[in-house]
Structure 1
Amino acid sequence: MYKLVLRLDVGSRAEDFTLKDFNGNAVSLGSLIGRGIVFLTFYRGGFDKESVRYLRALADNHERLKDLGVEVVAVTPELPEKARGTAESLSLPFTVLCDPELTATKQYDVYDPSMEWCWPAGFVIGEDGAVQYVYRGVSPPNTPPVPYLMKKFEQMRSPPEEAAGRAAAR
């Protein structure tokens, strides 16, 4: 029997990386940690209809995400020109980073060796830098469900006594 060992999972410290956005600006994950919740998502690219559907759902919920103190950072293996096209066509209101060398993709264990690309994935990183939730898909449309993520973010932002009251009511 084989056991899959993942370097970054719930309870791990998020590992820093620096990638460029589609305009060539360097963005480090470490610079975002501590300012709120970070939702780090990996998507296959604008060619993938499930990735587009997923990015649109995140964009549609962006105001609520901001209200909850969530910073969305999307990572794609696509080249900057392709990522720009997707971001502009969908009017994405969040940061889109390009990882054509698959550095962060491999670092976060979402590398698909058969396709030499990334799997869809999502990581919720708390203000303290600890990974609170991980979703790794193996193929589209395996993406973290946005309604579930919204509930997760709401729970993370609720005072502990409110969260305990909701849990007891269930």
Structure 2
Amino acid sequence: MTERLAPGDTAPDFTLPDADGNPVSLSSHRGRKVIVYFYPAAMTPGCTKQACDFTDNLDLLSGAGYDVIGVSPDKPDKLAKFREKESLEVTLAADPDKATLTAYGAFGEKTMYGKTVTGVIRSTVIVDESGKVAHAFYNVKATGHVAKLIRDLGV
């Protein structure tokens, strides 16, 4: 079973390439709250819906002091195509070796169509200004998750 994060834990720092190959580090966001969401694959229906929902609500979230980083095992070039195709404005980070996904408890065994498989567990971790986990949501739904998150965070 993958170790999951809980409120109060120190969020594992990471430095991953974004869609343009530039480094994205959690530590560079200190002083702001960060929504780090983990999704299985760019350009799939559920992941597209979720990324578009975050983009559509980015001004609202940013205005409330949140930065948004989406992490998937895709390579930067695929993330760039995804960003262009869907006009995404959220930061997309590549984790092809799945080290960050694993550190956040977002990679491991899950049930898909009644079968146990190993893969990305759609998850969202809210990191506070000091780098601590404020909330950790696992096995979230792609559709409606951003709206629920906004309600839960009181944004």
Query: Aligning the two structures, in what range does the TM-score lie when normalised by the shorter sequence?
Result: 0.7 to 0.9
Out of 45, 56, 66, the residue aligned to residue 70 of structure 1 is 66
Q: Distance in 2 between matches of 1:39 and 1:121?
A: 10
Q: Distance in 1 between matches of 2:105 and 2:144?
A: 16
Alignment partner, residue 128 of structure 2: 126
String of CA shifts for 1:8-53, please: whole Å, max 9, x gaps: 211111110111112111111111122x110000111124211111
Q: Distance in 2 between matches of 1:49 and 1:73?
A: 19
Q: Is the 8 A contact 2:55 2:89 kept in 1?
A: yes
TM-score by length of structure 1 reads 0.78
Q: Distance in 2 between matches of 1:117 and 1:19?
A: 19
Rg larger in structure: 1
Higher relative contact order (CA 8 A, sep 6+): 2
1:148 Cα offset (Å): 2.2
Q: Which runs of no fewer than 5 residues in structure 2 stay unpaired?
A: 110-115
The secondary structure found in structure 2 opposite 1:123 is strand
* Cα distance, 1:142–1:52 mapped onto 2, change above 3 Å: closer
More strand per residue: 2
**Is residue 9 from structure 1 mapped to residue 11 from structure 2 by the alignment?**
no
Q: Which runs of no fewer than 5 residues in structure 1 stay unpaired?
A: 156-170
The letter for the 1-side match of 2:123 is A
Identity across matched positions, percent: 28
| Structure 1 consecutive aligned stretches of length 4 or more whose deviation exceeds 4 Å | 113-116
The secondary structure found in structure 1 opposite 2:34 is strand
